[in-house]
Amino acid sequence: MLLTGAEILVKSLLNEGVDTIFGYPGGAVLNIYDYLYKYKDKIKHYLSCHEQGAAHAADGYARSTGKVGVCIATSGPGATNLVTGIATAYMDSVPLVAITGNVSKDLLGKDSFQEVDITGITMPITKHNFIVKDINNLQETIRKAFFIAREGRPGPVLIDIPKDITSNKTEYKDLKPLEVEPKSKHITEDVLAEVAKYINESSKPLIYAGGGVINANATEELINFAEKLNAPVATTLMCRGAIPSGHRLNTGMIGMHGSNASNILATRCDLIIALGARFSDRVISDREFINNAKVIQIDVDPAEVNKNVKVDSFIIGDIKVALQRLIPLLDDKKNQEWLNTVDDLKLLAVTKNNNDNGEELTPKFLFEKLSDMDKGDFIIATEVGQHQMWTAQFFNFKTPRTLISSGGLGTMGFGLGAAIGAKVANPEKTVFNIAGDGSFGMNCNEFATAVKYNIPIKIIVMNNNALGMVRQWQSLFYEARYSQTTLDRATDFVKLAEAFGGVGFRVEKRDELENVLNEALAINKPVIIDYRIDSDKKVFPMVAPGAPIHQIINEEDLEC
């Protein structure tokens, strides 16, 4: 069957199971968009306000489902506008395929109108990228791109297609997607036995669980593993929801804004078991505590093993498979003395700053209300900043893939697009975007996208008239010199919501919150809630940059 490159692309996407694309058209992708129009009954296209919003929406779609998210942009500025979204997906191991158009082959390398070397630009932030210069390679390139995005450690792949490739014709055959198998060839009996020996000899183990657990769909195995060992579980931001917040072994987040319990346990354990976690600088800080314990690492990506921390033993391979084969080799443990220590330290989890004495609006008050209302169908997207950390600390996550947040890159402006993608992928779920007023200002134009398609996401702007996290650092480490972090904007978020065609609410008193949330949930439209908090509210606990993980700053320390 002789088809144009544009039709081959669209039919190949259908073969990969794609039914949703986020994008923005332009001259270099007109042929592709013409076929998207012809196949609009099979692939739903969402027109974003900005290409970055399309990339974040595809990312949110992927994180909330485990499927590959797809976005498309034209050449030049359209392609470069995807870069931040691609980098965000890369840092958090999100399966994404970004498709860009380019000028025709004869115009490449000549500084042509809207030409840019997008494969060169994105080489450091993709698992792989392609420029298709021969139409005969197009179909196989698409199949490879989806395979690479999904296999092993997931990540973004970019396909750049010159315009003449989309109009040329070649033979097309219906081909099945390349099959992805869990990586297990290095999970041998010998390595399993060695790791099991370390675990069985331990009396104070700590499980350090990262986003790789969720990527591997290994959350059930994580819980079984923890319960067999009676070992506390400290999670990274990317792993929130992998074990329910209320589980007896969950000690909360670890790292710079981790719980007192998780951070102190990391210095008192005799074995750290890292599952799908990369020992990032925001978790381990100065690495001093690693010297106090043996370290085991299980990860699908061999590049992560011994990269940031020297380990005593490791398993390279799919975490789900590794845990399924490892658990039968482990002794059932009581570890009662260790568990008593865990329970004692968990009582330190709430500091004075996070208590809710008085009538002011606080982050904890908000998230307790949201947690009470969640019947297991809430997905929480976030922007980046204080509100992101409060979400991770205070919301009662019950299941995986319910926190959609930019961890590695820390992309302000991520949450709104991601919430749109998550809601499109999960129409039966209630999707919130928790934002700061600074982050929301980055990409608030995407609220128009939500209104256009009536995607009824609920945005809560934690409005403190400041770039809160940067202000917090200035308060603690720069003698309160608030350089360019007080926003002083006259933006009325209620009117902004209405101007875009949505619904706006404002909460200034505690007794208003529950009614506003109930009203927002009852409205089948996009909603913005302006939630006013004090600009000096800080995120605690906190570990100063570069300080040992157990040197924790709590609010009461500042009052001394």
Looking at the fold, whether 289 and 367 belong to one and the same domain comes out as no
Looking at the fold, whether 456 and 475 belong to one and the same domain comes out as yes
Query: What pLDDT, on a 0 to 100 scale, did the predictor assign at position 352?
Result: 43
Domain count, the chain: 3
Looking at the fold, whether 226 and 242 belong to one and the same domain comes out as yes
Looking at the fold, whether 29 and 137 belong to one and the same domain comes out as yes
CATH of the domain at 226: 3.40.50.1220
pTM here? Answer: 0.96
Looking at the fold, whether 341 and 360 belong to one and the same domain comes out as no
Looking at the fold, whether 16 and 130 belong to one and the same domain comes out as yes
Query: What pLDDT, on a 0 to 100 scale, did the predictor assign at position 353?
Result: 45
Average pLDDT over residues 410-418: 98
User: Residue 279 falls within a domain, yes or no?
Assistant: yes
Q: Looking at the annotation, which residues are catalytic?
A: 51, 113-114, 163, 469
Of 103, 339, 331, 78, nearest to 225 (Cα)? 331
Looking at the fold, whether 159 and 88 belong to one and the same domain comes out as yes
Looking at the fold, whether 303 and 420 belong to one and the same domain comes out as no
Domain end point (choices 300, 331, 346): 346
User: Residue 535 falls within a domain, yes or no?
Assistant: yes
pLDDT digits (tens, 9 = 90+) for 137-153: 999 999 999 999 999 99
pLDDT digits (tens, 9 = 90+) for 349-401: 554 445 566 789 999 999 999 999 999 999 999 999 999 999 999 999 999 99
Domain end point (choices 315, 346, 377): 346
Domain end point (choices 346, 372, 399): 346
Query: What pLDDT, on a 0 to 100 scale, did the predictor assign at position 357?
Result: 60
Looking at the fold, whether 255 and 201 belong to one and the same domain comes out as yes
| Angstrom distance (rounded) from CA 50 to CA 173 | 34
Looking at the fold, whether 282 and 330 belong to one and the same domain comes out as yes
pLDDT digits (tens, 9 = 90+) for 147-179: 999 999 999 999 999 999 999 999 999 999 999
Question: Over 80: is that where the pLDDT of 552 sits?
Answer: yes
Question: What percent of the chain stands above pLDDT 90?
Answer: 92
User: Residue 557 falls within a domain, yes or no?
Assistant: no
Distance in angstroms between the alpha carbons of the first and the last residue of the chain? 78
User: Residue 338 falls within a domain, yes or no?
Assistant: yes
Average pLDDT over residues 504-515: 97
Looking at the fold, whether 521 and 376 belong to one and the same domain comes out as yes
CATH of the domain at 165: 3.40.50.970
Of 468, 402, 384, 452, nearest to 45 (Cα)? 452
Average pLDDT over residues 90-94: 98
Of 84, 66, 35, nearest to 414 (Cα)? 84
Query: What pLDDT, on a 0 to 100 scale, did the predictor assign at position 356?
Result: 61
User: Residue 523 falls within a domain, yes or no?
Assistant: yes
Range of the domain at 246: 189-346
Rounded (10°) CA dihedral 499, 505, 507, 510: -170
Looking at the fold, whether 507 and 472 belong to one and the same domain comes out as yes
Task: Sheet with 430-436: list strands edge to edge.
Answer: 403-404, 378-382, 430-436, 458-463, 527-532, 503-507
Helix (H, G, I), strand (E, B) or coil at 388: helix
